[in-house]
Amino acid sequence: MTALKPFLSDNAAAVHPKLWEAMRAADQPDHPYDGDRLSAELDARFTALFGRECAALWVATGTAANCLALGTLVQPHGGVVCHREAHIEVDEGGAPGFFLHGAKLMLCGQEHGGEGAKLTPEGIAALIDPVRNDVHQVQPHAIAITQASEYGRTYTPAELAALGAFAKERRLCLHMDGARFANAAAFLGGSAAEAARAASGPVHSLAFGFIKNGGMGAEAVVLFDPERAMEVRYRRKRAGHLQCKGRYLAAQILAMLEDDLWLANAAHANAAAREVAAGCADRLLHPVEANELFVRLTPGEREALRAQDFAFYDWGADSARFVTAWNTRPEDAQALGRAIAAL
Amino acid sequence: MTALKPFLSDNAAAVHPKLWEAMRAADQPDHPYDGDRLSAELDARFTALFGRECAALWVATGTAANCLALGTLVQPHGGVVCHREAHIEVDEGGAPGFFLHGAKLMLCGQEHGGEGAKLTPEGIAALIDPVRNDVHQVQPHAIAITQASEYGRTYTPAELAALGAFAKERRLCLHMDGARFANAAAFLGGSAAEAARAASGPVHSLAFGFIKNGGMGAEAVVLFDPERAMEVRYRRKRAGHLQCKGRYLAAQILAMLEDDLWLANAAHANAAAREVAAGCADRLLHPVEANELFVRLTPGEREALRAQDFAFYDWGADSARFVTAWNTRPEDAQALGRAIAAL
Amino acid sequence: MTALKPFLSDNAAAVHPKLWEAMRAADQPDHPYDGDRLSAELDARFTALFGRECAALWVATGTAANCLALGTLVQPHGGVVCHREAHIEVDEGGAPGFFLHGAKLMLCGQEHGGEGAKLTPEGIAALIDPVRNDVHQVQPHAIAITQASEYGRTYTPAELAALGAFAKERRLCLHMDGARFANAAAFLGGSAAEAARAASGPVHSLAFGFIKNGGMGAEAVVLFDPERAMEVRYRRKRAGHLQCKGRYLAAQILAMLEDDLWLANAAHANAAAREVAAGCADRLLHPVEANELFVRLTPGEREALRAQDFAFYDWGADSARFVTAWNTRPEDAQALGRAIAAL
Amino acid sequence: MTALKPFLSDNAAAVHPKLWEAMRAADQPDHPYDGDRLSAELDARFTALFGRECAALWVATGTAANCLALGTLVQPHGGVVCHREAHIEVDEGGAPGFFLHGAKLMLCGQEHGGEGAKLTPEGIAALIDPVRNDVHQVQPHAIAITQASEYGRTYTPAELAALGAFAKERRLCLHMDGARFANAAAFLGGSAAEAARAASGPVHSLAFGFIKNGGMGAEAVVLFDPERAMEVRYRRKRAGHLQCKGRYLAAQILAMLEDDLWLANAAHANAAAREVAAGCADRLLHPVEANELFVRLTPGEREALRAQDFAFYDWGADSARFVTAWNTRPEDAQALGRAIAAL
């Protein structure tokens, strides 16, 4: 595959050299599980980044990060409002059903408004208000949003504030699937702290993704109500996600935070996406804000691109999805943009 | 901690250099999840090792490996027979309850016979036969044994055959927790293939541990009924254990199998344990077969050892547990043996 | 409420006198749970009715009947295809999530065809074929249909045969929610045995409802693969549904089967529904086949009917639902038909 | 069986005439589920009985009552301390594992002290204090006691107060399985209100049994923290335990409370047990406080009793269990006592 220009997914990209260094540096005796010195730094480092007290735990996958956080926000007899195209609904093999013990995903769709698989207070209200206080129907306990969304769209701080206020009013918790949180933050701009705060808004919990951004196998569950952290620790162990040698996961995350590598990597990927977008603005199904492009392309056009060694996924019958990554070569992005423009 | 002579646990030891090499070699573009070339090799490699058809999947922890395998053997309304001191009962934070949806662990204890937390057909029969076919009582669906046991004891091929025959007669499945399977195999002896077959016997599934034996974060779920493998794949995803970049896990496991590194590492650890044992034969609570020692030591004696920089866990009021690892320095093992002898 | 003409629901109607008699006759010492003589008759009685071997168990609610049966057909990591308006999806408080341990309900909607919340093979294929063999997506294990449907429509024997063949081809099990199975059978016509067979077709399991048809608190789980019955017995106990004094439930069901009371009661209710329908054919949202009517009525019209002491539920903004029962007085049904006609 | 003198179990006894009357009186139109006038009375009636605010819900079985209450007290990752011989551990087919989503039953045994399967603060402390705050071990969330115990022993108010204080100190909830609560209350004595308060002490929730005491199929879940009641309502529906025609269950319970029938029935059963005990004081394994007797009897002696038409269960190799009920005929109890004395 080495000759291909890879736009399939950011989730298979190589590991960033700084993370290799950090893992090797961790390769010395220390306490098992999360008793090591590196794991012990996480709470403070994320508290500093977000400027509000939080606890942070490593886990190996975004699926686990989302579900462990949601498990503390939602009772088994409750529900989680999310978009019908949310990753937790369509791409996690039923993991929420497992981790939440059968709690229900309550689905907003296009009919509830919201662009690019984003949720709005109005849409959620239309979904949940009719079922309120009816014992025959599952009651919502939390809302889960994705930042950046499954279509690469970001929630603005104002949109997040509105969702937070709505959640509070309805006594719901607010969780953020941040598999591409870094890309959303990079789009929103500012210093690392400013970007992190802007992109996270008033959420109760965040699955902060690093794997798509140059990590090997470490994401962070960030809990802005630190009291929930102890519960997540028990649930993490119970789910088989408390690794023996946690220091290698902590090392990855700390290296990502060091010198704001997470933000730089994401900015690189976003820039590459913009390069591509420049060549296909008229074909875009969604504005390009993060590092994904959804492009109207006929089967013949897709074939032509593949003949030029571009690797990507079809997206329905008449479109394709391109994803850039922390290590996308600018020349590949430019070449892709030009190739589409030339179709 | 670097100055300490570490006998706390093998589960925090450093990663073997060959595995670092293998992971670095995997650091190039490939398909995500388990679609990569390395993951695709696992089934064949384990089939070759065990000499009977099997499927093998990577997961990040032994807890997940055990529970994912058991999940295919046990219905939620059933039970798993294990020892009261089995790791799945006492040390996995309730993971079996989670993965098996509330299935019951049915506990054999010392009153059921069996040395060193091992199970026997007679003991299991005494436990389960009285509850047979009574709808008010949970029915057993599987038996779970630990090889080497929680006290470092191994099941011989004859013992495994007897358990297998018993399980078949009672229509139960047989699972093996092999967190220290390599140490048991090394104790039983022979070529890698001979040792692997001897140590696994007729089990239906095996959680084959590598992490305590020099791995970073990869164990193998080995299913000798390959039809169950597809089910484990779905359950692995559902449990958040399908990592994006599975090639780094596959690389670790393949490196372990290469040139029988897994067996050599375990043999090293076992030899170190024997070195220690040589100094304290009269104090041993259990015969030393694998890489753990349970040694009668008064609080004062433990204090004296710690003053000499030996690190280990207390085991109850009057004993201590020492664990050797793939990288235990022979001189440390000898020193420990001498130090105990000199008490 | 006694002065009202009740068309709210059949599920709150009084208990049929024959069932009171039968329960009183059971009021003598016998074995607890389902060890009594009456419970022991169920398998044979249902086998005779359906003309194929089956096992039958009593439970107290339709929700439990559906979920216990589905629990034997669906693994926790699998899914159940049903209609988006199916009772198990919208009206059982998340019970399938609980009983099936988080298995997913996979929803067909109007976009998948099928009248009156009925499913078709084509619609199901459109839903499930795209997710086949993708470990990131829940795989269907069973199909659940409702006979009569949530809009009072019946599946014909030909439609059931087609669904059965489709299920077999896709290796799915087929379950029937028969909360109003009697009403469907009465519509399809023939002797009790003919009607029961016609209405059930080739399903693997049936929740045979009696409560809406004059029962007090007993439904039957009918399993046409008797091997599954033992599993349901364990699951019933585990769900707290094995009542101590099961003979009072068995007595209700046997009284319903005696002299085909179940069919006579349903025929009565269906006839009453037809009486109503005669007065509002032009306003019907769905053809009237069983004992439910969905009638286009403005808020003002509904108010006018309520002023005449008719009790019923609104159905959205511009309609109402009327349900007849085993004890609906013909004069009330005629009066309702006339009252609507006169609006 | 009519000729037998039944001491097998109170859970299969006939239904009390007053309850039949009450159910027949409820046989008129009313709202479905628990929307009827009778169900609406429960909270106030139990609040009056216990003299402290509570909510009360009907369910069909004691298993459901226990598990629905415990479900609000215990998170899935937590544990419930109970006796190794507690009904929820040994006789409910794994129901706690189902309702509590795999939470663990943490077992006190004889080695922890406590007579007749009763728990003590000291015994519980010995069990749970060693696992505190260890993420590898399940943490207790609640304590479940049985009143009267599985051996017919009662907790005194002082013992309950001590358990309540201990639970509070350890931040645990306290649940009472009161399948034979009435018998315990009758033993403790006083007016109905005094007896109910004495027998319940400071528990957070109580499964108040009526079925063994003359009911047909209705127990009450009593929640002394009424805020939990709404959660139990959702969980009851989700477990398929919200019956359509709840008024027939409410009618049973209200009839039991009317004129303190529950206490009179239990006093009758207890008196019958004392009659039996008078004939076998020297053979008793446990003091007789409620309505169960555990009597040392050789196989030959048991055979001799059965030859005289006494029905009862063996209890291990050398004993038998006799249970009296609300309708045990005094002459049968006396006859049994005499028969044992004459052995």
Tens-digit pLDDT profile for residues C66-100 = 999 999 999 999 999 999 999 999 999 999 999 99
Token pair recorded at residue A221: 């569950």
The answer to whether the Cβ–Cβ distance between C98 and A102 falls below 8 Å is: yes
The answer to whether the Cβ–Cβ distance between B241 and A64 falls below 8 Å is: yes
The answer to whether the Cβ–Cβ distance between A77 and D238 falls below 8 Å is: yes
Domain B17-260 has CATH 3.40.50.720: no
3-class SS at B203?
Answer: coil
Residues of chain B short of pLDDT 70, as ranges, are 1-3
Q: What is the pLDDT of residue A273?
A: 98
Q: What is the pLDDT of residue C2?
A: 46
Q: Looking at beta carbons, which residues of chain A come within 8 Å of D244?
A: none
Helical segments of A51-156, H only: 62-73, 87-90, 95-99, 121-128
Residue B316 Ramachandran class (φ > 0 left, ψ -120 to 50 alpha, else beta): left
pLDDT in tens, C246-273: 999 999 999 999 999 999 999 999 999 9
Using CB atoms, which chains have 3+ pairs under 8 A with A?
B, C, D
Separation CA A147–CA A196 (nearest Å): 11
| Smallest Cα distance from C334 to chain A, Å | 32
Residue of B nearest to D79 (CA): B94
Burial A319-337 (b: 16+ CB within 10 A, else e): bbbbbbbbbbeeebbebbb
Q: Looking at beta carbons, which residues of chain B come within 8 Å of C234?
A: 77, 135, 139
Q: Looking at beta carbons, which residues of chain C come within 8 Å of A11?
A: none
Topology of the domain comprising C17-261: Aspartate Aminotransferase; domain 2 (3.40.640)
Count CB pairs under 8 A between chains C and D.
152
For chain C, give every domain's residue range. Answer: 5-12+263-341, 17-261
Q: Work out the end-to-end distance of chain D between its first and last CA atoms, rounded to an integer number of angstroms.
A: 24
Residue C11 pLDDT > 50, yes or no?
yes
Show which of residues 189-218 on chain C sit within 8 Å of chain B, judged by CB atoms: none
Q: Is B35 on the interface with C (CB under 8 A)?
A: no
Token pair recorded at residue B20: 């670092």
Q: What is the pLDDT of residue C4?
A: 84
Separation CA B206–CA A330 (nearest Å): 46
Classify burial at D334, counting beta carbons within 10 Å of its beta carbon; exposed 0-12, middle 13-18, buried 19 or more: middle
| Smallest Cα distance from B92 to chain D, Å | 5
In this complex, which of A29, A95, A248 lies closest to B216 when CB atoms are compared?
A248
Q: Looking at beta carbons, which residues of chain A come within 8 Å of D233?
A: 135
Helical segments of chain D, H only: 17-25, 42-50, 62-73, 87-90, 95-99, 121-128, 157-169, 181-188, 192-200, 227-238, 247-257, 261-278, 299-307, 330-341
pLDDT in tens, B205-215: 999 999 999 99
Q: What is the pLDDT of residue A4?
A: 84
In this complex, which of B90, B102, B103 lies closest to D137 when CB atoms are compared?
B90
Q: What is the pLDDT of residue A234?
A: 98
In this complex, which of A211, A217, A239 lies closest to B98 when CB atoms are compared?
A239
What is the CA C76 to chain-centroid distance, rounded?
24
| Smallest Cα distance from B329 to chain A, Å | 13
What is the CA B14 to chain-centroid distance, rounded?
18
| Smallest Cα distance from B97 to chain C, Å | 12
The answer to whether the Cβ–Cβ distance between B137 and D79 falls below 8 Å is: no
Residue C3 pLDDT > 90, yes or no?
no
Q: Is D186 on the interface with B (CB under 8 A)?
A: no
Eight-state DSSP code of residue A164: H
Rounded mean pLDDT, C33-54: 97
The answer to whether the Cβ–Cβ distance between B97 and D103 falls below 8 Å is: yes
* ipTM given for this complex: 0.97
| CATH pick for A5-12+263-341 out of 3.90.1150.10, 3.30.56.10, 3.30.70.980, 2.60.40.420 | 3.90.1150.10
Fill in the amino acid letter for A305.
L
CA nearest C56: which of C146, C163, C181, C214? C181
Topology of the domain comprising D17-259: Aspartate Aminotransferase; domain 2 (3.40.640)
Q: Looking at beta carbons, which residues of chain C come within 8 Å of B139?
A: 234
Residue A1 pLDDT > 90, yes or no?
no
The answer to whether the Cβ–Cβ distance between B135 and C75 falls below 8 Å is: no
| Smallest Cα distance from C273 to chain A, Å | 26
| Smallest Cα distance from C87 to chain A, Å | 10
The answer to whether the Cβ–Cβ distance between D231 and A75 falls below 8 Å is: yes
Residue of C nearest to A84 (CA): C107
Q: Is A307 on the interface with C (CB under 8 A)?
A: no
Residue A227 pLDDT > 90, yes or no?
no
What CATH architecture does domain D5-12+262-341 belong to?
Alpha-Beta Complex (3.90)
Q: Looking at beta carbons, which residues of chain A come within 8 Å of C103?
A: 94, 97
In this complex, which of D234, D237, D248 lies closest to C217 when CB atoms are compared?
D248
Residue C12 pLDDT > 70, yes or no?
yes
Q: What is the pLDDT of residue B305?
A: 97
Q: Looking at beta carbons, which residues of chain B come within 8 Å of D138?
A: 93-94, 97
Q: Looking at beta carbons, which residues of chain C come within 8 Å of A96?
A: 102
Token pair recorded at residue D67: 């598990």
Burial D112-127 (b: 16+ CB within 10 A, else e): bebebbbbbbebbeeb
Using CB atoms, which chains have 3+ pairs under 8 A with D?
A, B, C
Q: Looking at beta carbons, which residues of chain A come within 8 Å of B238?
A: 92-95, 97-98
Residue of A nearest to D102 (CA): A101
Q: Looking at beta carbons, which residues of chain B come within 8 Å of D101?
A: 97-98, 101-102
Asked if residues A227 and A233 have their Cβ atoms less than 8 Å apart, the reply is no
CA angle D72, D73, D74 (to 5 degrees): 100
- What is the pLDDT confidence band of residue A29, given thresholds at 50, 70 and 90? confident
Q: Looking at beta carbons, which residues of chain D come within 8 Å of C4?
A: 29
Q: Looking at beta carbons, which residues of chain C come within 8 Å of B33?
A: 135
Count CB pairs under 8 A between chains A and D.
28
Mutating which of A31, A75, A141, A232 best tests the D interface, going by the most D Cβ atoms within 10 A? Answer: A75
pLDDT in tens, chain D (343 residues): 446 889 999 998 999 999 999 999 999 989 999 999 999 999 999 999 999 999 999 999 999 999 999 999 999 999 999 999 999 999 999 999 999 999 999 999 988 888 999 999 999 999 999 999 999 999 999 999 999 999 999 999 999 999 999 999 999 999 999 999 999 999 999 999 999 999 999 999 999 999 999 999 999 999 999 889 999 999 999 999 999 999 999 999 999 999 999 999 999 999 999 999 999 999 999 999 999 999 999 999 999 999 999 999 999 999 999 999 999 999 999 999 999 999 9
In this complex, which of B77, B234, B235 lies closest to C238 when CB atoms are compared?
B77
Burial D206-221 (b: 16+ CB within 10 A, else e): bbbbbbbbbbbbbbbb
Show which of residues 94-133 on chain D sit within 8 Å of chain C, judged by CB atoms: 94-95, 97-99
The answer to whether the Cβ–Cβ distance between D77 and A233 falls below 8 Å is: no
Using CB atoms, which chains have 3+ pairs under 8 A with B?
A, C, D
Token pair recorded at residue A164: 């937070």
Rounded mean pLDDT, A287-310: 97
Token pair recorded at residue A259: 């010198």
Q: Looking at beta carbons, which residues of chain C come within 8 Å of A77?
A: 93-94, 98
| Smallest Cα distance from C189 to chain A, Å | 33
In this complex, which of A101, A136, A242 lies closest to D76 when CB atoms are compared?
A101
The answer to whether the Cβ–Cβ distance between C103 and A97 falls below 8 Å is: yes
The answer to whether the Cβ–Cβ distance between B138 and D102 falls below 8 Å is: no
Mutating which of D89, D136, D150, D314 best tests the B interface, going by the most B Cβ atoms within 10 A? Answer: D136
Edge-first strand order for the sheet with A292-296 is: A292-296, A319-323, A313-314
